[in-house]
């Protein structure tokens, strides 16, 4: 409900602003203009949020938690130490709104850019070798039950299980497409080829995914 109301509230408030301010906010090359616009709108509400809530540390913490989920809901890009760097601003969003000086966004953009590059490296390395499907492993699919990894080794292991799970699903789909009723019906000499095809398809999917992530800009972070 919060995410749906924000654009509506801003649209109603923005329509009352001078046209000169709006033109400045939409001109290219001004990364913080939308932030200044938001600051102006909130100040017109005399320190209160559009829903009647105070713009204080309580609202700041709630906004921060939403922002962190948008950044890395699956907990596959940021390490625990990096999240702690971002969390240092958990109660300062209201102060940044009042001053118009945002430090959280540039930091989060830099750390996410590093995390994306790191994850892309993990994916390429892990998908370069076959997975052993004879080993039984547990894989948690609910990110709410996961914590952020403390080390790169832990994060790479999380990616390994994620990719193994996806490759296995793709392997089963390819086997069915080839007319095999079950994995056991696949001839031994064909299993390696199907597994390789599965890894290649998963690598292609993730390659496209990382291209989109690398296109994220500081302005996208301000928009969030």
Query: Total structural domains in the chain?
Result: 2
What confidence tens digit (pLDDT) does each residue in 56-83 have?
888 889 989 999 999 999 999 999 999 9
Q: Is residue 42 part of a domain?
A: yes
- For residues 219 and 32, the answer to whether their CB atoms sit within 8 Å is no
Q: Is residue 185 part of a domain?
A: yes
At 154, the pLDDT band (50, 70, 90 cuts) reads very high
Q: Could you tell me the pTM of the whole model? A: 0.77
pLDDT of amino acid 9? 43
What confidence tens digit (pLDDT) does each residue in 35-62 have?
667 666 665 654 555 555 677 888 889 9
Q: What's the Cα-to-Cα distance from 166 to each of 42, 73, 171, rounded to whole Å?
A: 45, 18, 9
At 15, the pLDDT band (50, 70, 90 cuts) reads very low
Who's near 62: CB < 8 A, 6+ residues apart?
Answer: none
Q: What's the Cα-to-Cα distance from 16 to each of 31, 99, 189, rounded to whole Å?
A: 22, 22, 70
Element (H, E) at 219: helix 218-223
Q: Is residue 218 part of a domain?
A: no
For residue 38, count other CB atoms closer than 10 A to its CB: 19
The length of the chain is 224
pLDDT of amino acid 50? 55
Who's near 30: CB < 8 A, 6+ residues apart?
Answer: 24
Q: Is residue 192 part of a domain?
A: yes
Query: If you write DSSP's letter for every residue of 161-190 in order, what string do you get?
Result: HHHHHHHHHHHHHHHHHTT-SSGGGS-HHH
Q: Is residue 187 part of a domain?
A: yes
More confident residue, 28 or 120: 120
Q: Is residue 219 part of a domain?
A: no
pLDDT of amino acid 10? 44
**Tokens for 176?**
């069915």
CA angle 116, 117, 119 (to 5 degrees): 65
Last residue of a domain, one of 31, 46, 61: 46
At 32, the pLDDT band (50, 70, 90 cuts) reads low
Q: What is the Cα–Cα distance from 112 to 224, expressed in whole angstroms?
A: 14
What confidence tens digit (pLDDT) does each residue in 82-117 have?
999 999 999 998 888 778 788 999 999 999 999 999
Domain that holds residue 177: 122-213
State the average pLDDT over residues 195-210.
96
Average pLDDT, whole number, for the chain?
82
- For residues 47 and 54, the answer to whether their CB atoms sit within 8 Å is yes
Element (H, E) at 29: none
Q: Is residue 96 part of a domain?
A: no
- pLDDT above 90 for 219: no
Q: Is residue 179 part of a domain?
A: yes
Cα 33 to its chain centre, rounded Å, is 24
Q: What is the Cα–Cα distance from 32 to 30, expressed in whole angstroms?
A: 6
At 217, the pLDDT band (50, 70, 90 cuts) reads confident
Last residue of a domain, one of 13, 31, 46: 46
Handedness of CA 152, 158, 161, 162 (dihedral sign): negative
């Amino acid at each position: 409900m919060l995410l749906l109301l924000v654009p509506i509230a801003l649209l109603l408030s923005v329509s009352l602003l001078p046209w000169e301010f709006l033109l400045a906010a939409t001109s290219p090359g001004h990364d913080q203009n939308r932030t200044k616009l938001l600051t102006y709108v909130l100040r017109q509400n005399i320190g209160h949020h559009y829903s009647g809530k105070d713009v204080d540390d309580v609202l700041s913490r709630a906004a921060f938690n939403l922002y962190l989920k948008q950044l890395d809901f699956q907990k596959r890009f940021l390490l625990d130490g990096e999240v702690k760097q971002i969390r240092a601003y958990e109660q300062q969003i209201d102060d940044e709104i009042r001053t118009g000086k945002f430090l959280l966004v540039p930091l989060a953009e830099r750390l996410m850019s590093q995390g994306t590059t790191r994850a892309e490296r993990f994916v390429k390395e892990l998908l370069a070798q076959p997975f052993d499907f004879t080993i039984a492993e547990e894989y948690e699919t609910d990110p709410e039950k996961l914590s952020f990894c403390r080390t790169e080794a832990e994060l790479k292991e999380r990616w390994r299980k994620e990719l193994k799970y996806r490759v296995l699903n793709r392997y089963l789909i390819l086997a069915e497409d080839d007319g095999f009723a079950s994995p056991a019906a696949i001839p031994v000499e064909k299993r390696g080829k199907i597994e390789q095809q599965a890894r290649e398809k998963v690598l292609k999917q993730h390659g496209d995914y990382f291209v989109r992530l690398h296109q994220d800009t500081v302005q996208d972070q301000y928009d969030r």
